[in-house]
Structure 1
Amino acid sequence: MSVELVEVVRSGFRECVHRGSVVLLAADGTPELELGEVHGPIFPRSTNKPLQALTLLRHGFDPVDDHELAITTASHFGEPDHVALVRRLLDRFGLTQAELACPPDLPFDDRARAAALTGAGPSPLYMNCSGKHAAMLATCAINGWPRTGYLDVEHPLQQAVLATVADVTGEPETDLGIDGCGLPIVPVSLINLARAFAGFTTAEPGTAPRRIADAVRADPRVISGTNGPDLLAMATTPGLFCKIGADGVHAGALPDGRAFAYKIDDGHDRARMPLTLAILRRLGVDWTDAHTDLAATAVLGGDARVGVIRAIPGVL
């Protein structure tokens, strides 16, 4: 049973609440807090991307720099630098955007979207998962696997992803879903998702998991975008490694292994930042004014602040 986590207060009245489930882990991996259902499987959506990227590194993908590795894990906003990184990755392996099996889309970023609408329109390059798809195609080329049909669960690449997720999370294979980009999505419990993220930050320097965590932390804008939640959370919290997923999923870990994962039941993005910041405070990060600014989102009435979106006091 999920619990009330975030409230929306408008003009002094509690307008609504967002329910969900949260797990926090201590540095030794033991649960510090469990709220709601943290042991049953959920679809982590894009929060699985670091695990998918780990599969690619294990099978010969060797990024030329941190930016190329980061775009492999990205839910990017389709801004020019994001698209340039995806193009560079495709070009490096002699691939074309026509081979990307993610659906055509427009950029999430408003300015990039406006530019795309006055240009060629939707493209798979703009789709937030295009970096992952480009790296998957590169890994197919490296291993001599078919570059067509790589979305199919029976494809060698996806079989490798299933094996990696099982290895990192320790969970048995269950019924798969299909993610928004068309790839198979592996269900994972929140507690094992948090443990997996802790494994990235506590891995030895130079190992594949640590390379991913370090690349993302080096420039978190690559995996996110202007004012994106992962960028804001990591920019205010040195050492944090985190990744959002669609429909209200978020997971992250600090360098010593303290970690979290949560799922907001209704998937509403407005609950995300107040909840993530409340979790970071409970985990004991060094709190700053920047954290305070992010922890409560204004509710506007016209141009005036008439309320707040905040984690419910006393829950975390």
Structure 2
Amino acid sequence: MPGPASSELLDVTRGGVVESRHRGSLVLLDASGDVEVELSDVTVPIFPRSALKPLQTVAMLAAGFTGSTQTIALASASHLGEPVHVAGARATLAAAGLDETALRCPPDLPAQPAALLAWIRDGGGPAAICHNCSGKHAAMLATCVTAGWDTATYLDPSHPLQQVVVSHVERLGGSPITATSVDGCGAPAHTIPLRALGHSFARLSTADAGSPERVAADAMRAEPMLVSGTATPVTELCLEIPGLLAKNGAEGVWAAALPDGRSFAAKVDDGSARALGPLLATALRYWGHDGPAVRRWGAVPVLGGGRPVGVVTAAPSLLQRLSLPPL
């Protein structure tokens, strides 16, 4: 759902020539929640997709979901189906007295190449437990068991669980949901503006210790590998930046916050996942971070014949807007 007059965010070069451009919307908020940088209209509702998972986890914790740091982190995950992810989702279900037949997310295969090969080598086929949202679905089911709600209809928008989710998404973002559809995993997908998305991550990041918001945020910070997977920008950037809270969503959505409440949200018009690493890395550079992972994800190689011949990186206009030098 691109907004009007979207801005150039990233350039894709090959042999020194700009081959493609990624346009979209972006907002950076200061620690008080005021806009520092705004590109395009960040008040237009978008589908944050899986970037809403941490807010959904807050709703589940408030409704009675309990678990380890690992299973709470996995509730917010868009994981790659690696063994640690599959085992964690199964553990969440088992603790609730359920198994993977209760899951209502679609069957899928692991997305991480080594995990995919091992799964198939062991005779596995598409399975709901391998779906990138299986941790969230397992936590939704466990929440229903705790609250005494029906588990067969947990994805219905009228289900008590989904109504609780709606109330917390609106509360944390400070903005009403204007439309609801169905996400790729079958759960309800809601729209909120980018600015509200950034604001909600700031609220999670700075929440009081022991609150559902802080429990969800701290679990994600402690276990970024569970939130994403091997060699992803979520995992590597969150491991490098102390206290960083970050979550990607399908169709080119990002949301992130630092412990002091500075936050970031972006939507890429073309929905390209390859834009995500360079965008978050650029936001982190704006916030003063410049480690190896920031540099690696800030300039992702474009390959030709198996070797780097170009790069995906912040567009000159974005660098100028943020007063940053090129990498």
Q: Name the TM tier (shorter chain).
A: over 0.9
Structure 1, unmatched stretches of 5+, are none
1:113 counterpart (111, 116, 121): 116
Q: 1:165 aligns to what? A: 169
Q: C-alpha displacement at 1:272, in angstroms? A: 1.3
2:325 equivalent in structure 1: none
Q: 2:61 is matched with which residue: 57, 60, 71?
A: 57
Counterpart Cα distance in 2 of 1:314 and 1:166:
33
Between the aligned partners of 1:87 and 1:220, the Cα distance in structure 2 is 19
Partners of 2:285 and 2:263 in 1: CA distance: 12
Answer yes or no: is the 8 Å Cα contact 1:43–1:177 preserved in 2: no
User: How many residues matched?
Assistant: 314
Shift of 1:239: 1.2
Which whole-Å CA distance do the structure 1 matches of 2:218 and 2:285 have between them?
22
Query: What does residue 145 of structure 1 align with?
Result: 149
Aligned to 1:196: 200
Moved over 3 A (4+): none
Instruction: Write out aligned runs for 1:181-220 (5 A).
Output: 181-220=185-224
CA contact (8 A) 1:4 1:17 kept: yes
| 1:16 to 2:20 alignment | yes
Root-mean-square deviation over aligned CA pairs: 1.0
The one-letter code matched in structure 2 to 1:78 is G
> What's 1:73 paired with?
76
CA drift at 1:116 = 2.1
Aligned residue in 1 for 2:178: 174
C-alpha contact (below 8 Å) 2:89/2:138 kept by paired residues: yes
Query: Residue 303 of structure 1 aligns to which amino acid in structure 2?
Result: G
Q: What is the rounded CA distance, in whole Å, between the counterparts of 2:142 and 2:306 in structure 1?
A: 48
| Matched position secondary structure for 2:130 | coil
1:110 maps to a residue whose letter is P
Residue type matched to 2:301 in 1?
Answer: A
Instruction: Please name the residue that 2:99 is paired with.
Output: 96
% of aligned pairs identical? 48
Give the CA deviation at 1:313: 2.2
Letter in 2 for 1:177: S
- Alignment partner of 1:15: what SS? strand
- Which residue among 155, 160, 167 is the counterpart of 1:156? 160
- Superposition pairs of residues 225-304 of structure 1, within 5 angstroms: 225-285=229-289, 287-304=290-307
Q: Secondary structure at the match of 2:167?
A: helix
> CA contact under 8 A between 2:8 and 2:24: conserved in structure 1?
yes
Matched, 1:34 2:38: yes
Report the Cα offset of residue 293 of structure 1.
2.3
Counterpart of 2:7 in structure 1 is 3
Q: Secondary structure at 2:129's aligned position in 1?
A: coil
Query: 1:24, 1:32 within 8 Å by CA — same for their partners in 2?
Result: yes
Deviation at 1:12, TM superposition (A): 1.4
CA distance in 2, matches of 1:105, 1:6: 31
Contact in 1 for aligned 2:176/2:192 (Cα 8 Å): no
Deviation at 1:235, TM superposition (A): 1.6
Three-state SS of the structure 2 residue aligned to 1:174 is: coil
The secondary structure found in structure 2 opposite 1:238 is coil
Q: Are 1:116 and 1:122, in contact at CA under 8 Å, matched by a contact in 2?
A: no
Distance in 1 (alpha carbons) for counterparts of 2:180 and 2:21: 30
Shift of 1:228: 1.6
Structure 1 SS opposite 2:202: helix
Amino acid of the structure 2 residue aligned with 1:23:
V
SS at the partner of 2:50? helix
* Counterpart-to-counterpart distance in 2, 1:135 and 1:195: 24
- 1:237-258 deviation line (CA, Å, top 9, x unaligned): 1111000000100000000000
Contact 1:11 1:306 (C-alpha < 8 Å) held by counterparts:
yes
- Extract unaligned runs of 5+ from structure 2: 323-327
- State how far apart, in whole Å, the 2-side matches of 1:172 and 1:219 are: 30
